Amino acid sequence: MRVLRTWLVGLGAGMFLAAGLAVAGQAGDPALEYPECNRTATAADLEGAKGAHKAATQFYERADYDRAIQYWKDAYQLDCSAHGVLINIANAYEKKGDRAEAVTALETYLARTPDASEAQTFRDKIQNLKNSIRPAPTPTASESASAPVPPPLLPTASAVPSRTVEAPPPEPPYGYAPWAVTGAGAVTLLVGGILTTSGFADIAEAEERCPSRKDCTADVADQGNQGRTRATIGGVLVGLGAAGVASGLIWQLGFNHPQPPSSALGSGPALRLIPVAGPGVAGVGAAGRF
């Protein structure tokens, strides 16, 4: 289950404090938002972290940064040794426009991985982000007197990100292919049954017209021979159809169980570079879609 973070309880107060944080040029307290790692993740924790990381990547590709951040934070809470997830969180905050939180995530990453090869790159990025959120210089008295008074801003409603939206529903790996095989087998079985029934009927009629099977007329002999041919072909088709029906049902019921989708939903061709970091993995990946 996903646990609501304690800082959401004070979301209303945080809106008033945000202006003070921007003026001071400081992000939130990393010790509260990203506690120190004092435990070892279990096998179940690692599996849960991988699932949360996969869902977060899908939301990031669809520009749903609030949910991507939440899933990556869940993954980091499950496996607090996967510090590379902090890079993903910082990128999502930067895309969202929250540079202060991006600085907090990157500073936490550098504090916990001081020997990282890209440490200087992230230090430069942190400095650039801090420069971009510093307040503009205070105007002088003469400039203030001549500056036009801006109109009052209308209040806007703040949207609280939903925590209950699930990842895209799982999909069967083989789609409707097993049912297609089952349907083809059923049609073959039906055709075979018709040919077999018709063939045995002609054989029975030919035997009735010529019981001794000697010195029979040409049309009776042809009727019996054609009946045997149809019965033989029908028997083969019955066997193939039964095998097709059985294999299709086994394929569907035994192997076509729903699995998580392999890519985020979307339309139109796209190719993008996205950060990839998870338990034991960190880097940049290319994602394509048609």
Provide the pLDDT confidence category of residue 32 given band limits of 50, 70 and 90. Answer: low
Please write the tens of the pLDDT for every residue from 54-89: 999 999 999 999 999 999 999 988 998 898 999 999
Instruction: List, for residues 167-191, the tens digit of each pLDDT value.
Output: 666 778 888 898 999 999 999 999 9
Q: Write out the two tokens for 134.
A: 């510093």
Which structure tokens are listed for 254? 């035994």
Contact assessment for residue 230 and residue 199, using Cβ atoms and an 8 Å cutoff? yes
Q: How far apart are the first and last CA of the chain?
A: 34
259 has a pLDDT exceeding 90: no
82 in Cβ contact with 277 (< 8 Å): yes
- Look at residue 227 and give its three-state secondary structure: helix
Two tokens, residue 228: 């045997």
Average pLDDT over residues 107-128: 89
Task: Assess contact for 60 and 76: CB atoms under 8 A.
Answer: no
CATH class of 6-135+268-289: mainly alpha
What radius of gyration do the chain's Cα atoms show?
Answer: 35
pLDDT digits (tens, 9 = 90+) for 209-244: 888 777 788 888 888 889 889 999 999 999 999 999
Element (DSSP H or E) covering residue 34: none
Instruction: Determine the Cα–Cα distance for residues 102 and 95; give it in Å rounded to an integer.
Output: 9
170 has which bridge partners?
none
Q: Assess contact for 72 and 42: CB atoms under 8 A.
A: no
Whose tokens are 């035997």? That residue is 207
Q: Which residue has the higher pLDDT, 166 or 125?
A: 125
Name the amino acid, one letter, at 256.
N
86 burial (CB, 10 Å; 0-12 / 13-18 / 19+) is buried
C-beta of residue 199 within 8 angstroms of C-beta of residue 193: no
Q: For residues 271 and 288, is the Cβ–Cβ distance under 8 A?
A: yes
Q: Please give the average per-residue pLDDT across 116-140, as a whole number.
A: 82
What is the pTM (predicted TM-score) of this model? 0.40
